[in-house]
Structure 1
């Protein structure tokens, strides 16, 4: 065989054996009020929006649902030819934000409905306090799962995706056993909600945010391992509220599992929220740039969709 032909065959063989480069993540905006950011939705480099809907907004009275906010946002994304991802929010990061239905707070069956938690609002920011819904209380969890079923009946196949909030929960020291919280009960409740969401939605993507677990570091309770295994088994997407390249805390918790399972999960959807934008690249001494976020998300985490805070500097360019 002529040398040129032989060389060409060898080169083609190398190309065939080389792994395909990872696809660029799709860009969505992240907001609590889509109507205020329709100009961003009109950008050709934005494919959709993730909007946060507090539980209280969606269920103003027990068993009475108001999905008008989601309908309005769907009309906006449909008109723009874009997609909508709904985050069903059951935890809140301000001391006075208790945005669950009033009956959960008042009815003794639900044990108060909410538990206090610490909140880390970003690099160099003082730790604050907020609330998380007591999903480990079976009565509370049953009402949350009823909400998921009602949402699926109205929006399955119309919403691009639905995500459940982050797994992280840092209880205040004065809480704990008095409200029934245990680490195992919290973990089991989260997985139960994952199964319920997957059973309710058949066409819409379902994503569980997984970043940390209370009482666990570096998978020492196997919570992280078991949660990702369930997601792979049941075809549940996984995501998280923060992409911070090589951040030590995340590298000792969820990030290696994203990397390990990036080819096994149906969808990886992660956010760059306001606190994420505060972090500094230790190598440059500057805030992480857009391309640094994207490269780490694409190459290590296998992210398919990035939810960008509307405060991301590149969106103002």
Structure 2
């Protein structure tokens, strides 16, 4: 009887869905910060790192790709047994950050390349404008997808995953934004996601999702459309912020993560620097690591948390 009970317990353990396990610990940082955080990276609980690469850094000229920084990251990580997740950034959050290849900014075919947006980091007030690539422009989007295909040809199966940037975009209506509409923005996001999924067949593909332009509470069915697409196409989802119970997120992506627990191949979410500014309404103090991890595991079904090295529990 004892042997039978142990066998049943073992069967139950191995049949638990992936989201029942505690989230795995990864770091999150800009591509050029890896060496600076070497000591944190070597901690045994850290399984890998997500590095953010600007579009311009990977394609300095039209069709000319420079993946040396990714090669160097893999050369540093692989001997340590650490995994790499790459994020290809097409949006930026300061006025001077316009990190698209120059040809996209100067050739009229690409509609100016970038459109101004307002950034609202953490619990702070709106700050100076940043930029988002005009992915609704078909010519620009084709170039982004060419970059994704080139990355897959080189790194599919070598990196754990590729993440596409967050869906939130606060387009400044005072600025020119030829061809923009909320429907066109969503369609372009899904088209890029489908292209990434076709290109990467061994590495995971993850779309960051938090908010959509023009939508609140899935009133345009953008959010439900994305989650249904992800589940049907073997795409992972994630986001830039884990903030337990925050009202804005609860009116948008969070309930969908809860609804889709166990139905997505990977859920990977971040605790970035602005995330640390949020306070727990129960204590009036910043959320603790335990509170974040418990919420990520139990409500959101997170498999991987990308932690900023600035997180208090990671400091020396």
* Common fold: TM-score over 0.5: yes
Partner of residue 21 from structure 2, selected from 23, 28, 47: 23
What is the CA–CA distance in structure 2 between the aligned matches of 1:147 and 1:72, rounded to whole Å?
Answer: 19
State the 1:127 CA deviation.
2.8
Q: Which residue of 2 aligns with 1:259?
A: 258
What is the CA distance between 1:173 and its match in structure 2? Answer: 1.9
**Does 1:107 pair with 2:107?**
yes
Q: Provide the residue aligned with 1:180 in structure 2.
A: 179
Gaps of 5+ in 2: none
| 1:49–1:307 Cα contact (<8 Å) kept | yes
| Segment of structure 1 superposing worse, 178-187 or 48-57 | 178-187
Q: By how many angstroms is 1:22 displaced?
A: 2.1
Deviating runs (4+, > 3 A) in structure 1? none
Residues 1-317 of structure 1 correspond to what in structure 2 (within 5 A)? Answer: 22-32=20-30, 33-175=33-175, 178-317=177-316
**1:237-264 per-position Cα deviation (integer Å, ceiling 9, x unaligned):** 0000000000000000000010011110
CA-CA distance at 1:90 after TM superposition: 0.4
Q: Deviations over 1:3-53 (max 9, x none)?
A: xx9xx99xx99x979x95921100000011212111111100100000000
Q: Secondary structure at the match of 2:46?
A: coil
Residues in 2 aligned to 1:175 and 1:230: alpha-carbon distance in whole angstroms:
32
8 Å contact kept, 1:121–1:128: no
Q: Give 1:125 deviation, angstroms.
A: 4.3
Of structures 1 and 2, the larger Rg is shown by 1
Contact 2:118 2:126 in 1 (8 A): no
Q: Residues of 1 paired with 2:248 and 2:230: CA distance?
A: 22
Q: Is the 8 A contact 1:120 1:128 kept in 2?
A: no
CA distance in 2, matches of 1:294, 1:130: 30
- The whole-number CA distance in structure 2 between the counterparts of 1:121 and 1:301 is 21
The residue matched to 1:262 in structure 2 has which SS? coil
In structure 1, how many angstroms separate the alpha carbons of the residues matched to 2:226 and 2:120? 23
214-223 vs 178-187, greater mean Cα deviation: 178-187
The alignment of Structure 1 onto Structure 2 pairs a total of residues equal to: 306
| Superposed CA RMSD | 1.9
Deviation per residue, 1:208-260 (Å, 9 max, x gap):
00110000000000000000000001000000000000000000000001001
Secondary structure of the 2:20 match is coil
For structure 1, list consecutive stretches of 5 or more residues without a partner in the other structure: none
Deviations 1:45-84 (A, max 9, x none): 1000000000000000000000000000011110211000
TM-score of the pair, normalised by structure 2: 0.93
- Partner SS for 1:250: helix
Paired residues of 2:50 and 2:86 also in contact (CA < 8 A)? yes
